[in-house]
Structure 1
Amino acid sequence: MTLPGRLRPWFRRLPVVTRLVLAVAITMSLVLTGAAGLVYWRVRTALDQQLNDDLTTYRHSLDQAVRAGTRVPPGPSGSLQQVLDAHGRVLRSSDSLSHQPLLTPAELSAVSRGATIRRDVGSLLPITPGTLRLQAKRVTADGQPRIVIAAVRRGHRDEALRELLAQLALASGLTLVAASYVGYRTARAALRPVERYRSGAATLADGAQNLRLDVPADHDDEITRLGHTLNHMLDRLEESAERERRFVADASHELRTPLSLLRAEVDVALHRPRSAGELTETLRSVDAEVQRLIDLSNALLDLEELGSTQHITRAPAELAHLIAAAVAPHLRTAELSGRTVTVDAARVTVDVDARWLRPAIGNLLDNALRHGRGAVRLTATVHDGRLRLCVTDEGTGFPPEFLPRAFDRFARAEASRTSEGSGLGLAFVHAVATAHGGTTHAENTGRGASVILDLPCRPGHEPGRRVR
C-alpha cells in the first residue's frame, strides 16, 4: 500500500497495531469495492439486456402496427407507446402519458433524419418517479413519415439495483468490520511476544540481572527466532559485562601495584637527603616500574585493538622467516641464562597475519624463558591447511589448577602479583588465535609445560621440507 507523501510521516507515527489495522481496512475496502462494483455491473448488465430485449421487441411490434394501420398490440408489463408526426405532434399515445411528448426538439430532429434514439428518463439515485427507457425510430405509414416511440418502465429494474446496492453496502460494511477486528486481534496476538520482549528489555535497562526472555520452545517463527536472538545477545552482554568487571578489577590491581611502588620509592627519596648513588638506585627502580606500566599499557592496547578488529589481514608469509624473526629477540635472553632455544619449522608459505602472529610467538617464547626451565623447543608444522605451533620447556609445568584459566587476562600461576610479567602474554596469544579462527591449548607433558597454537593458514608448499 502506497500512501501520499503528506500522509507518510503521520502514518509512521502511529502504533504498529493501528498501522496494521488501517492497512487491512484500506486494502479490504479496495477489494470489497472492486468486488461489489463487479457484482453490480454484472447484475445491471443482465437486467439492462433483458429490458432492452423487451423494449426492442415491443418497438418492432409498434412499427409493424403503424405501417399496417392496425391496432397497437399489447406490450410487456409497464410498456408505453407514442406516435408522432414529422412535426412532433402526438398522433397516438398511452393514456398515462397524456399526449406529453417524450422527445426533445433535438432528438425529434435526429429521429426525423433517420437516427434511432435510445435513452433513459429519470435517474436511479436519487429516486425519481416515472422512470422510463425508450426507443424512438422513424417509420413510413401511408406514404407519411411517422415517429414511433416505445417505452417501458424501469421501476422493477431500478428497485432491484437499489436493493442490490443496499445489500452490497451492508455486506461490505460487515465484512470490513469483521476483517478489521480479525486483523486487530491477529496483530495484537502476533506482537504480544514483542511487547513482552520490550518489557523484559526495559527491566534489564533498569538494572535487572540474569534476565532471559520467555521464548516458547515448540515454535519456530520470526518472533520466536527474534526471542532466541535476543536471549543470545543477553548471554553475550552478560559475558561481556562479567569480563569487563573482571578486567577492571584486575587492571586496577595491576596498575595499583607499580604505582604504589613508585610512590613509595619517591617518598623514601624525599624523606631525607640521599647520596648520588642512592638517588641513582631509586631512579633505576622508578624506571623499572615505569617500564612495567608502559609494557602493561601496551599489552592492554594491543589486546583491545585485536579484540575490536572485525577481521585480520592475511598475506602469504614464509613460515621459516616468520619464526626466525619472532625467535631472534629472545636468543640473547636464553644465552644469558644458559639456556637454548631450538626451532623446527616446516618450509612452507602460510597465509596469516604476520603482524599479530609474530608477537604471539614471541610471547610464547618469553613465557617459556621466564617461567620454565631447561631448553625451549619451538616446532611449527602444517597439515591439512592448519598451522600448529608448539612451544615446550623442561620446567615443572603449570599448576593443575591454573591450566583451565591459563589464557585468561592477568592470570598467573604464582599467587603474588608482584612477580615478573603482566599476565597478558597468553591472553594475547589466545586473542591472535581466535582472530585467525584458531584455538590454543596448554598442558603438562611430564617433562615440562607445552603451549599449542593451532590456526588455519591455507599453505602453499615450497621446495625443501624443514629448516632448523
Structure 2
Amino acid sequence: MTPRRAAAETADRRRGLGRWHRLPIVLRLVLAVAVTMSLVLSGAAGLVYWRVQQALDEQLDADLATYSHNLRNDLLAGHRLSGPDGSAYQILTPQGRIIEASDLIRTQHLLTGSDITSIAGGAAIRRDIGGLASLDPHTLRLKAQQVQLPGRTVIAVAAVRRGHRDEALRELLAQLAIAMGITLIAASYVGYRTARAALDPVERYRRRAASLADGASAVRLPVPEDRDDELTRLGHTLNEMLERLEAASERERRFLADASHELRTPLSLLRAELDVALHRPRPAAELTATLRSVDSEVQRLIDLTNALLDLEQLGGTDQLARSPIDLPTLIASAVDPYRAAAAREHRTISVDAAPGIVDVDAHWIHPAIGNLIDNALRHSGGDIRVTATADDGRLQLTVTDQGPGFPADFLPKAFDRFARAEASRTSPGSGLGLAFVAGVAASHGGTARAHNTGQGAAVSVDIPC
C-alpha cells in the first residue's frame, strides 16, 4: 500500500468517526443497541437453523441410505424395483444410458459425465438436485453407486424427495426473520425510551444552566430528592458548584466594591492635599506637613497593594516550600519585631511555645503571626498572649488579647477580604489581615477560627505540620 493511499484511508476513517460522533447520543445508543441485537439475533437464528437443518438432513440421509440399500438388494435378487412414497430410482449403463427409471425421473439425467467416471472408479456419489430457494416440489437428494450384476455392470441411482425438508427450512427462515424483526424493533424502542429517560434529566440540567447566560441568578438544577442514581448525584454536585460560583461571584462583587472604597479614600485625600497645596503659595512648614500627609497616604496605598498581591500570590501557590523548623524559634522570630511597639503602649507580649519541630513554610507563617499580633495591638487593649503547640502532626497557634472582643455580627465574616468591624472603620488598616491569615492556613491544608474568650478576642490557626 502506498503512503498516499494509506493516508487517504486514514482520513476516510477519521471522517467516518467524525460523522458518528456528531450524531445525537440517543441516536448513537439506539443504533448501537440495534446493531448489537442484530448480531446476537443473527447468531441465535443461525444456530437454530443449523441445528434444525442438521436434524432434517440426518433423517433424510437415513431414509436415502435405507432406500439405496434396498434398491441394490432388489437388483441383485432380480426383484421388481419399487420404493416408498417420495422415492425414485434410475438404472444406467456404465456409459450413462438410462435402462430403467421410475416415472418421476424417467427422462431426467441426474448424473454428469464426471459423476459417471467417478462411479466407474468405484466411488459413490451423493448430491442434491434443486436448491432451497426453488419452489419445485420435486427437489431430490440422490445416491449413485455401481452394482455388479451377473453378466453385466449397472449404475443404481436412488433418490428421495427433499420437498418436505426444504419447505420446513423455508418456513423456519420466515419465522426466524419475523421474530428477529419484531425483537429488533422492540429492543430498539426499549433502547430509545431507556436512553431518552436517562438523558432527559441532562437536557433539563442543560436548559436550566443555559439560563445563567441570560443573567439569571440563584439558578439551581431540578434534582429529584427521592432518587440516588448517578444523574441525581451529578445534579447535586452541579448545584453545589453553582452555590460556590454564586458565593464566589458575591465575594468578587464585595471585593471590588470594598477595594474601590479602600482605594478611593487615600486617593481622594491625596488629591485634596495636593489641591490645597497648589491653591496658593504655602510656607515651607505647611508644604512639609502636606508632603508628610501625602507620604502617609501613599504608604497606605502601598500597604494595601502589597496585601492584595500577597493574597493573590498565596492563592496561586500550588506547592508550599515546607521545611523543618524549631517551633519556639519560629514564634520568637515572628513576635520579636512587635515587642517595641507593645512596650510603647505599656503592653506586653507573652509567648508560650512548646518545644518541637514543625514542617511549615516560614515565609508565609511569619507574616501571618505578625498580622495577628498587629491586629491585637491596633484593636484591643491589655497584654497579648501567643501560644503554640505541635501535637500529633498538627500545629495549633492561638493569639489572644484583653480587649473588647469581636462584635457578634462580625465573627461569621471575620476572615473575608476587607471585612472590618464597624468600631474599627476609622482606625488604620485595610481589613485584609485576617483574610491573609485564613489564606495561609488554607494553603497549608488547615483552618483559622476567630472567637471571643470572655476576656478578649482570640484567633486560632490549626494546620498539619
TM bin, normalised by shorter chain, reads over 0.9
Residue 395 of structure 1 is aligned with which of 389, 403, 406? 403
Q: Does 1:108 align with 2:138?
A: no
1:424 deviation in Å?
0.7
**2 CA distance for matches of 1:269 and 1:421?**
26
Partner of 1:462: none
Percent identity between matched residues is: 65
Residue 32 of structure 1 is aligned with which of 38, 41, 44? 41
Partner of 1:421: 429
Distance 1:225 1:133, change over 3 A: same
Contact residue 379 and residue 424 of structure 2 kept, 8 A:
no
Partner of 2:268: 260
Partner of 2:365: 357
**1 CA distance for matches of 2:386 and 2:34?**
73
Letter aligned with residue 123 of structure 1: G
Partner of 1:316: 324
1:100 deviation in Å?
3.0
Q: Secondary structure at the residue paired with 2:359?
A: strand
Q: Does 1:454 align with 2:462?
A: yes
The Cα offsets for residues 274-331 of structure 1, whole Å up to 9 and x where unpaired, read as: 3444333322222221221121112122222323445545432221221122123323
Q: Secondary structure at the residue paired with 1:396?
A: coil
Residue 201 of structure 1 is aligned with which of 188, 204, 209? 209
Partner of 2:64: 55
Q: Does 1:132 align with 2:136?
A: no
Residue 11 of structure 1 is aligned with which of 20, 28, 31? 20
Q: How does 1:17-416 map to 2 (within 5 A)?
A: 17-75=26-84, 77-128=85-136, 130-310=138-318, 312-415=320-423
Distance 1:314 1:416, change over 3 A: closer
**Unaligned residue ranges in structure 2 (runs of 5+):** 1-11
1:273 deviation in Å?
2.3
TM-score by length of 2: 0.92
- Tell me whether 37-46 or 331-340 shows the greater mean CA deviation: 331-340
TM-score by length of 1: 0.91
The Cα offsets for residues 405-449 of structure 1, whole Å up to 9 and x where unpaired, read as: 322221223446452111110111122223333332333334433
- Tell me whether 305-314 or 194-203 shows the greater mean CA deviation: 305-314
RMSD: 2.1
**2 CA distance for matches of 1:433 and 1:221?**
36
Letter aligned with residue 204 of structure 2: R
1:379 deviation in Å?
1.3
The Cα offsets for residues 162-205 of structure 1, whole Å up to 9 and x where unpaired, read as: 11111111111011111111111111111111111111101222
**1 CA distance for matches of 2:351 and 2:256?**
38
Contact residue 136 and residue 148 of structure 1 kept, 8 A:
yes
**1 CA distance for matches of 2:331 and 2:286?**
43
Distance 1:318 1:416, change over 3 A: closer
Contact residue 377 and residue 393 of structure 1 kept, 8 A:
yes
Partner of 2:4: none
- Tell me whether 348-357 or 269-278 shows the greater mean CA deviation: 269-278
Distance 1:181 1:396, change over 3 A: closer
Contact residue 94 and residue 154 of structure 2 kept, 8 A:
yes
**2 CA distance for matches of 1:199 and 1:436?**
39
Q: Secondary structure at the residue paired with 1:43?
A: helix
**1 CA distance for matches of 2:183 and 2:369?**
74
1:143 deviation in Å?
4.0
1:380 deviation in Å?
0.9
**1 CA distance for matches of 2:14 and 2:301?**
61
Task: Kindly tell me the number of residue pairs found equivalent between the two proteins.
Answer: 454
Letter aligned with residue 15 of structure 1: P
**2 CA distance for matches of 1:260 and 1:205?**
37
